[in-house]
Structure 1
Amino acid sequence: MVTVAVTAVAAALVMTGCSGGPSSPATDNVAGTPSSGASSTSKSTPTPTPAVVDVTPADGATGVKPTAPVVVKVSSGSLSEVSVKDAQGKAVEGKLANGTWTSKARLAPSTAYTVSVTAAGSDGTPATTTSRFTTLKPAVTATYGILYAGQTVGVGMPASIQFDSAVTTPELRAQVEKLVTVTTSPKTEGHWGWLDNRQLMWRPKDYWQPGTKVTVNAPLTGVQTGDGKWIANDDSASFTVGSSMISTVDIKNHVMTVTRGGQVLRTIPISAGRPGPETETRSGTKVIIRKEGTVIMDSSTIGIKKGEPGYYKIKTQSAMRVTWTGEYLHSAPWSVGSQGSSNVSHGCVNMAPENAAWMYANSKAGDVVKFTGSSRVFQPSEGIGVWQYSYANWVKQSALA
């Protein structure tokens, strides 16, 4: 508690009487005769009451949680102004109501703050006080990214926030979800949901309308994501939805049909993953995660080491990733003889070099690729799997559901 004393000085009043001329002997000291002259009545001046200011967190406090509010109260007076700033001068927003100022924003971890207060005592005389405190240093500073910022993406790309590590509990995921927002132009129905404890995505009810502008705002400074883990930054980003390019891979019939705006652009012979629990291409609705160009396919990344049966290490071109488990669309000159007739790959979609180059040139991240004809099912967290859910079931992926 900081007490601000506001003092005032009271002036003493001195009263002086004087005669108008020489005294008259006839009237001086006559018994029973009132004497003439001035009289006075003294008045006391109330002592001003100092403003008593209470600041929470206390002056000198350390290890303050970023979620702790800054509260400033005053008694025997009134608050005039409150400022809470970090060392760089960034202010913490707050609201004054019923004589109490309360911060509205969370604090940043590992940050020193200065609270400056101007208050007035009972006589209105202003006085100021300053206090300081420091927020806790997290064991881990949690980070995150808003994906596809500034890009033009396909109609299947959700707005995505990816955390570097797990947001560990449903309660913490709900807190994150309450804070993040998506704005779209034109207005689009959609909902947040979690693919897993690291991936938060906002999916439109149906595929995006081409030309839609999407902005994600993530004011997550001071949010806890786990035991000893706190976020130290806000972020925002926008992307634009491009043309509607949707392809269908018929695994059984070894063909991929590519459409744009509902019109067929090309039918491409393909070879998908050969039968087997580890090689069969997964059925389901995927989107192109990213275009990677030249990629070395190495079976050791999926547990088949050099010298073991089935080992391979091949350089591929025009590669576009559709799952995190290693499925790509790519050029495969070595399997041209099987394309259109049989499935011989390790799970990827093989195309002739000219078809793969065309596909690569005309595709973008977020383009939809639907796979049919396989008993092996694509799991949502194996890629950008938001379209594996009906919209009603996607809404249930929300931590607030």
Structure 2
Amino acid sequence: MGHAIRRSVRGAGSLVLALATVSCSGTTAPRSEGTSQTPQSSAAAVISVAPLDRTTGVPTDTPVLVASRGGTLQKVVVRAVKGAKGSLPGVLSADGTQWRSRGTTTPGASYEVSATAVNEAGAVTETTSTFSTVRRTATFTIDGIMPSAETTGLTVGVGMPVMITFDRDISDRVAVERNLLVTASKPVIGAWHWFDSRTVHFRPKHFWPAHTRVRVEARLAGVRGGAGLYGAANRTIDFRIGRSQITRGSVLTHLLTVRRDDRVVRRMPMSAGQGGVWKYHTTSGIHLAMSREPVTIMVSPGIGPGSPGYYRMTVYNTVRISNSGEYVHSAPWSVGSQGHANVSHGCVNVSPADAKWFIDNTLIGDPIIITGSPRRLEPTNGWGHWQEDWKQWLRWSSLKHFTTDDA
């Protein structure tokens, strides 16, 4: 991603926090705690720590907060002493009087907090306290994530969603979504959308700006996914948005027009679904290129060999645009109808030369918008995410929306 991209922060307030308001560890206002607090003068600084000393069952998303009254913090270390390894990173306020941990703790672990402060006279105060976190009974991980270098490459189209699948049902969607961070090199408003308890997808309000760099950070290690269920590991992916290429086609005019960065680069005669008794309609809506396949074997859905309407065909240079078997593909047998009539089984037929050009010039995630059909693309048919308007998309987001940018 590079250092120019600033990570967005959601659900976090200002660094300067009033420790007296912290109650997520089951305590009220924190007080000075420690096993070795040794003021060297009557004016020595007083250190307060939350969670309080010897607190047990602390939720993993509870931050460690350290404050100094009458002095500045010189050193704060939160170290795992049992059930985990390493130390928690943190941020010190500009005036040096408050420190807040970043990230989550490990469930079923014990931590030691050591802090040192000094007052204006040079008197040193030290304190040490401990706490332990809630126990876990199970973990969850990311079972699949898109885009990925293996399936889509590192550069994708302007309509590409981010798609995450978990290996277990998530009931605490707010906690998980809060730790799914998307940052981009150009300003974007976007939101996550839960399709079910294991599937959450992200898309911008509008298509991605061309040539945007995107990072997705799933900071899920130690994050609560449900009762006794905690994330096992973090995951990060980086990808790029390519040039803006949007293809529009009409089943009424029988023409596909490809625009790249607002300039027409190709016009292709097409033939769409013939409709009729078998209802072979090409769906109207905002499709996305889902895969590019040199060879595809197409079989009539729900119709077996020997039955009327059965077909099994080998087709070439196909770009998949839905889960219901719709492709833009080479159809030499219908070249005479392309540009004039709809004769396909629901796919978008183009000439062999146009199909070769289209597969070579299409990125996964490029929008292919079809109009004029009586059948509408369903939002869950493939990557029909753009079929929902922004208000509908936000209905299934736990955190509504946020802005990502590097400004």
Residue 79 of structure 2 corresponds to which residue in structure 1?
Answer: 84
Give 1:132 deviation, angstroms.
7.7
Call closer, same or farther: CA 1:224–1:349 in 2, change over 3 Å.
farther
Structure 1 residue corresponding to 2:111, chosen from 112, 115, 123: 115
CA distance in 2, matches of 1:125, 1:174: 39
- Change beyond 3 A, Cα 1:129–1:201: closer
Q: Which amino acid aligns with 1:115?
A: Y
Q: For the residues of structure 1 that align with 2:194 and 2:133, how far apart are their CA atoms? A: 39
Change (3 A) 1:385 1:224: farther
Aligned pairs (5 A) from 1:270-285: 270-275=270-275, 279-285=280-286
Q: Which TM-score applies when normalising by structure 1?
A: 0.68
Deviations 1:45-73 (A, max 9, x none): xxxxxxxx975565xx9xx864577799x
Q: Distance in 1 between matches of 2:310 and 2:343?
A: 14
**Alignment partners' CA distance in 1, 2:233 and 2:357:** 41
What is aligned with 1:161? 163
Q: Please list, as runs of the form range in 1=range in 2, the aligned pairs for 1:234-249 lying within 5 A after superposition.
A: 234-249=234-249
The question of whether the paired residues in 2 share the 8 Å contact of 1:108 and 1:233 is answered with no
Pair member with larger Rg: 1
- Judged with a 3 Å threshold, the aligned counterparts in structure 2 of structure 1 residues 107 and 340 are, in CA distance, closer, same or farther, namely same
Q: 1:238 to 1:201 in 2, by over 3 A?
A: same
2:104 to 102, 106, 120: 106
Residues 336 and 132 (structure 1), Cα distance of their counterparts in 2 relative to 1, 3 Å cut: same
Superposed, which structure 2 residues align to 1:243-392 within 5 Å? 243-275=243-275, 279-299=280-300, 302-392=301-391
Question: Aligned AA for 2:103?
Answer: A
- Alignment check: 8 A CA contact 1:144 1:162 kept: yes
- Structure 2 residue matching 1:387: 3-state secondary structure: helix
Aligned equivalents of 2:386 and 2:53: distance in 1? 51
- 1:31-46 pair list within 5 angstroms: none
The SS at the match of 2:247 is: strand
**8 Å Cα contact 2:158/2:209 also seen in 1:** yes
Alignment counterpart, residue 154 of structure 2, candidates 140, 151, 154? 151
Counterpart in 2 of 1:31? none
User: Matches of 1:359 and 1:155 in 2, distance apart?
Assistant: 16
Paired residue total: 339
Distance 1:4 1:219 in 2: 33
Distance 1:344 1:228 in 2: 56
Describe the SS at the equivalent of 2:374. coil
- What are the superposed Cα offsets for residues 305-351 of structure 1, whole Å, 9 maximum, x if unpaired? 44443333333221212112222112223433433333233322122
Cα distance in 1 between the residues matched to 2:355 and 2:254: 15
Q: Structure 1 337/56 Cα, relative in aligned 2: closer, same or farther at 3 Å?
A: farther
TM-score, reference length from structure 2: 0.67
Q: Deviations over 1:167-201 (max 9, x none)?
A: 655xx33333333332222323x120416231321
CA-to-aligned-CA distance 1:231-274 (integer Å, 9 cap, x gap): 32222222222222111111123221222222222221222222
Does the residue aligned with 1:382 lie in a helix, a strand or coil? coil
Query: For the structure 1 residues 317 and 202, does the alpha-carbon distance in structure 2 shift closer, same or farther, using more than 3 Å as the test?
Result: same
Deviations 1:188-231 (A, max 9, x none): 3x1204162313213143x3332222222221223344566543
**Is the contact made by 2:148 and 2:154 (CA closer than 8 Å) also made in structure 1?**
yes
Quick check: 1:191–1:203 contact (8 Å CA) kept in 2? yes
Q: Deviation of residue 372 (structure 1)?
A: 0.5
Question: How much identity, in percent, do the aligned residues show?
Answer: 34
Deviation at 1:84, TM superposition (A): 3.0
Q: Report the residue type matching 1:279 in the other structure.
A: Y
* Higher-RCO chain (CA-CA 8 Å, sequence separation at least 6): 2
Alignment of 1:19-30 (within 5 A): none
**8 Å contact 1:84–1:113 — kept in the other structure?**
no
The root-mean-square deviation of aligned C-alpha atoms, in Å, is 4.3
> Could you tell me how far apart the structure 2 residues matched to 1:144 and 1:233 are?
13
| Cα distance, 1:374 vs structure 2 | 0.5
